[in-house]
C-alpha cells in the first residue's frame, strides 16, 4: 500500500483561508530543538592567502528580485529594452546555465551570501515580519495558490527565524582583507525590526540602507542601519532610484578614500507589486513589469558611468544576477516553470560578470553553476582562504571567468522546494523525483504529479536539456539506469544532510 502523504503541509493546503489555524500550525513548527553551532571569530574561520600579491579589487554584486532568465535583451527579450545591462555582456562573460540555489527569495539569498545550501541554515521559505498579517497576505495571494503562496510550513524539519550568527557572509569574510562593506536594498534574512541581530550590520556590513523583506509584505519600512526612517514606504516607485543614489555615493566616497569596497545591491523589483517612477511608467513593451526592469537598467547605467568617471572600472569586479525566476509576470525564456518551482524556469537566472583587464570580453560560458559559487569565487578574488570549520557547497568559478570555454568537472546540483528535495541537475540531465506543489483545497498527488495549472505528468521525470531545454519530453522510461543513478545521488545527499545537518567539518 502506498504510504500516506497526509502531512502538515497537506493539512495547511486545506486550511489556506483559516488564519487562526494557519498561525497556530506555523508557530508549532518554529523550532526543532536543534542548536546551531557556536559562532567563532571570523579571523579564526578564514585567513589571508600569503601568496596573494595583487591589489584587492572593488566588488559590486547586483541581485534583482524575481528577474527571469528571459527578461534581458542579451538573454532574448524583445519586449524589454536593457541596453546598459546588455552592454555588460559585451564587456565580460555571460553565463547560460547559471542557477539560484532556491526558487524563492530568502533561501536563495542565504545561499548566495554564504556559499552553502540554505537547507543547512534551515531557511527553506520566504521569511515574514513578525508584524505581518498572515490572513491579509493569504487574501492578497489567493489567486496564486498554485505558485508561491509562501506558506512557512517547514516540512516537519523546523525552520530558522533568520540568518544564524554561525553563518559566515561575504561581508564578514571580505572585511578580513580590509574591505569596506555596504548593503543596499532587500535583505530578507530575518526580521531585524523584532530582532536586531538579523540586521545586515550584524552580518558583515559597515553600512545599510534598505528594506527587511519583499514589497508585498506588511509593514514595508525603510531602514538606514538600525534606524527606521520610514515606518511604511509611501511610494515604492522611488526605491530603484534611491538605491542607486546610495550606491553612487558609496562609490564616490570610496574612490576618495582609496579603500577597496564590497557593495551588495539587492533591488526590490521586479517583484510584485510592481512600480516604476514617472520617467519609466508606460514606456516599455513589457507592461509595468517591463517598466520596472527598464528603470533598473537605466540606473545600472548611472552606476557604471560613475565608475567610469572615477576611473574605477579597471579595478572593479561587477556581477549582475537574480534571486530566482519570474513570478506572475516576466519571462523564463524557453524554459519550463516559474518562481516557486524546481523546473528550470524557477531556478535558472541570468549571470553577467565584468572585470576589465582580467575577464575576457564578449564571451559566453555554458558551465553548470549556481549562486552558491559566488562566495568561494569572491574569496579567491580577494585572496581569502575558505572556512575550514564548515562545508562550502559552492565551487570557485574563477577558472570559468578567465576561460569561459574551458572544460569543467562534472557536478551535481540539488533543487529544493518548500524544504523538500525535488530534483537535481547533472551535466545536461535534469531529474525530477517528486513534486510537492499544493493547491487549495487539495494537495498534489506526488505519484501522479497532477496539477490543475502546471500539469507535470507521471513521475519521475528525466529531461535531456541539451536537446530539450523546455523540459517537454520525459525520458525516464527510456533510461532506467539514469533514473536509478540519480535516485541514488539524491538519497545519498539526503543521508549526508541527516548525518550532518549543519555541514560541519569533523576535523575542526
344-378: b (≥16 Cβ within 10 Å) or e: bbbbbbbbbbbbbebbeeebebebbbbbbbbbbbb
Radius of gyration of the chain (CA): 22
Catalytic-role residue among 99, 101, 128, 188? 188
Of 441, 447, 365, nearest to 398 by C-alpha is: 365
* Strand-pair category, 180-186 with 261-266: parallel
Q: From 125, 155, 161, select the one nearest 8 (Cα to Cα).
A: 155
- C-alpha cell belonging to residue 389: 570549520
The C-alpha atoms of residue 448 and residue 444 are separated, in whole angstroms, by 8
What's the helix, strand, coil split of the chain in %, to 5? 30, 15, 55
Query: How far lies 323's CA from each of 106, 113, 175, 432, in Å?
Result: 9, 11, 24, 21
Specify burial of residue 407 (Cβ count, 10 A radius: 0-12, 13-18, 19+): exposed
C-alpha 6/C-alpha 10 separation (Å) is 6
Number of neighbouring beta carbons within 10 Å of residue 102: 33
Among residues 64, 101, 105, 365, which one is catalytic?
A: 105
Residue 264 Rama label (left phi>0; alpha psi -120 to 50; beta): beta
Establish whether 105 is a catalytic residue: yes
Closest CA to 370 of 119, 36, 101: 101
What cell was used for 193?
A: 525590526
Cβ neighbours for 269, distance < 8 A, ≥ 6 positions apart: 64, 65, 215, 239, 240, 275, 292, 293, 295, 296
- The Cα-based distances of 302 to 207, 247, 374 in angstroms read 21, 10, 24
Q: Is 64 a catalytic residue?
A: no
CA distance 397 to 46: 19
Cα(217)–Cα(133) distance, integer angstroms = 8
358, 102 contact by CB (below 8 A): no
Whether the CB-CB separation of 243 and 209 falls below 8 Å is answered with yes
Catalytic residues: 105, 188
Amino acid at each position: 500500500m502506498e504510504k500516506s502523504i497526509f502531512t502538515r503541509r497537506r493539512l495547511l493546503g486545506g486550511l489556506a483561508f483559516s488564519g487562526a489555524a494557519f498561525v497556530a500550525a506555523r508557530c508549532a513548527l518554529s523550532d526543532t530543538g536543534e542548536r546551531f553551532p557556536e559562532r567563532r571569530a571570523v579571523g579564526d574561520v578564514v585567513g589571508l592567502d600569503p601568496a596573494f600579491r595583487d591589489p584587492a579589487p572593488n566588488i559590486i554584486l547586483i541581485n534583482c528580485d524575481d528577474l527571469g532568465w528571459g527578461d534581458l535583451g542579451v538573454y532574448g527579450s524583445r519586449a524589454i529594452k536593457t541596453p546598459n545591462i546588455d552592454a555588460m555582456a559585451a564587456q565580460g562573460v555571460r553565463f547560460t546555465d547559471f542557477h539560484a540555489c532556491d526558487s524563492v527569495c530568502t533561501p536563495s539569498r542565504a545561499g548566495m551570501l554564504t556559499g552553502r545550501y540554505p537547507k543547512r541554515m534551515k531557511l527553506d521559505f520566504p521569511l515574514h515580519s513578525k508584524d505581518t498579517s498572515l490572513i491579509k497576505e493569504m487574501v492578497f495571494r489567493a489567486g496564486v495558490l498554485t505558485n508561491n503562496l509562501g506558506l512557512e510550513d517547514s516540512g516537519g524539519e523546523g525552520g530558522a527565524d533568520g540568518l544564524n550568527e554561525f553563518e559566515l557572509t561575504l561581508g564578514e569574510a571580505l572585511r578580513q582583507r580590509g574591505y569596506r562593506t555596504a548593503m543596499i536594498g532587500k535583505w530578507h534574512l530575518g526580521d531585524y525590526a523584532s530582532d536586531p541581530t538579523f540586521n545586515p550590520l550584524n552580518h558583515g556590513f559597515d553600512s545599510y540602507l534598505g528594506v527587511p523583506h519583499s514589497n508585498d509584505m506588511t509593514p514595508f519600512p525603510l531602514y538606514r542601519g538600525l534606524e527606521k526612517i520610514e515606518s511604511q514606504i509611501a511610494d515604492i516607485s522611488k526605491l530603484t532610484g534611491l538605491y542607486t543614489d546610495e550606491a553612487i555615493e558609496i562609490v564616490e566616497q570610496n574612490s576618495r578614500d582609496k579603500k577597496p569596497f564590497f557593495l551588495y545591491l539587492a533591488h526590490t523589483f521586479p517583484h510584485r507589486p510592481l512600480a516604476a517612477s514617472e520617467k519609466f511608467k508606460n514606456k516599455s513593451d513589457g507592461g509595468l513589469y517591463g517598466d520596472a526592469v527598464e528603470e533598473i537598467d537605466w540606473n545600472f547605467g548611472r552606476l557604471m558611468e560613475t565608475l567610469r568617471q572615477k576611473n574605477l572600472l579597471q579595478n572593479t569586479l561587477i556581477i549582475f544576477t537574480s534571486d530566482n525566476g519570474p513570478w506572475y509576470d516576466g519571462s523564463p525564456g524557453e524554459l519550463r516553470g516559474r518562481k516557486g518551482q524546481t523546473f528550470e524556469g524557477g531556478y535558472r537566472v541570468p549571470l553577467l560578470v565584468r572585470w576589465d583587464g582580467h575577464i575576457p570580453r564578449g564571451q559566453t560560458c555554458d558551465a553548470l553553476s549556481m549562486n552558491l559559487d559566488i562566495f568561494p569565487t569572491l574569496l579567491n578574488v580577494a585572496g581569502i582562504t575558505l572556512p575550514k570549520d564548515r562545508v562550502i557547497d559552492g565551487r570557485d568559478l574563477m577558472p570559468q571567468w578567465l576561460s569561459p570555454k574551458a572544460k569543467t568537472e562534472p557536478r551535481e546540483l540539488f533543487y529544493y522546494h518548500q524544504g523538500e528535495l525535488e530534483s537535481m541537475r547533472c551535466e545536461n540531465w535534469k531529474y525530477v523525483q517528486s513534486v510537492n506543489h499544493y493547491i487549495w483545497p487539495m494537495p498534489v498527488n506526488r505519484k501522479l504529479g497532477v496539477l490543475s495549472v502546471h500539469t507535470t505528468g507521471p513521475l519521475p521525470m528525466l529531461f535531456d536539456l541539451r536537446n530539450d531545454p523546455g523540459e517537454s519530453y520525459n525520458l525516464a522510461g527510456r533510461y532506467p539506469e539514469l533514473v536509478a543513478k540519480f535516485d541514488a545521488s539524491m538519497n545519498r545527499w539526503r543521508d549526508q544532510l541527516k548525518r550532518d545537518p549543519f555541514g560541519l567539518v569533523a576535523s575542526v
